[in-house]
Amino acid sequence: QTNLPAGLADAPLTLIAHGPRCAVASVAPPSPTGKLRPERRHLTAHQRVATAIARTTDLLPVAFGTVSATDAGVIELLETNREQLVTQLARIAGRSEWTLRLALDVPEVFKFFVEADPELRAARDRMLAAGGGHDAMMAVGRLFEHKLAERRDAARNVVIAALTEVIAEDRENPLRSEKELCNFSLLADRARAAELDAAIERTAALFDDQHTLSVSGPWPPSSFVDVRLEL
């Protein structure tokens, strides 16, 4: 590839070939301990290079801080782990990762549910009429959590059903806030990126203005590979 970003500490990238595969590497900056410190500038450079490569070709992202003293050590690493590398490369061949998040775009989630759900609104009103109380508040809270879980389940099903024809795999990620309804990593063919974009637009249209659907990518397929190198 051309026009790739520089590696750590702006060092140029090199390709260390082993048969039909190769490792992309750069010289690591000096360290008194011999270990690569996870500084922000190093992590950013690592991610920047991996993302640039994964946009156009197959890449197995290796954990930051994988260091070898020599090129021969890298070749030995590729040979020792050849079987798992071949297997995982075959799995992600021609594919990259996208991230999709769907969230409620409302000021207060509980108020939104109270206004939209008669059962929850009635439970809230009964609690207020009775003067509150710990048990009544807990009951309303449990009902709210149940309603939120139901809405999240429904949203996940709608999203995956709408995208199933254009994605190869999906992984559900932990939700980051109460407003978030679903958070997916999607593995899709790079050659079908335009189809994926169109399907995501159709998916967004299934939800009203009180929802926000955001997408990012393509990224290295980190959620769909687990490279555990035997050093």
**For position 21, what pLDDT does the model report?**
86
Q: Facing residues of 213 across strands?
A: 102
| Closest among 24, 79, 43, 59 to 231, alpha carbons compared | 79
pTM above 0.85, yes or no: no
Identify which of 222, 193, 207, 199 has the alpha carbon closest to the alpha carbon of residue 102.
Answer: 207
Minimal CA–CA distance to 188: which of 226, 158, 209, 218? Answer: 218
Q: Spell out the residues 6+ positions from residue 22 whose beta carbon is closer than 8 angstroms to its own.
A: 15, 16
The pLDDT value recorded for residue 230 is 66
Res 231: pLDDT: 61
Q: Which spans in 8-133 are helix H?
A: 40-54, 71-80, 82-91, 109-116, 118-129
Tell me what pLDDT residue 216 has. Answer: 95
Torsion of CA 217, 189, 209, 115, to 10 degrees: -100
For the chain, 231 residues long, give each residue's pLDDT as a single digit of tens. Answer: 556 788 888 888 888 988 888 889 888 887 777 677 888 988 998 888 999 888 888 998 888 878 888 889 899 988 988 888 999 999 999 999 999 999 999 999 999 999 999 999 999 888 888 887 788 888 899 999 999 999 999 999 999 999 999 999 999 999 999 999 999 999 999 999 999 999 999 999 999 999 999 999 999 999 998 877 766
E strand residue ranges, the chain:
14-18, 21-25, 95-104, 169-172, 180-189, 211-219
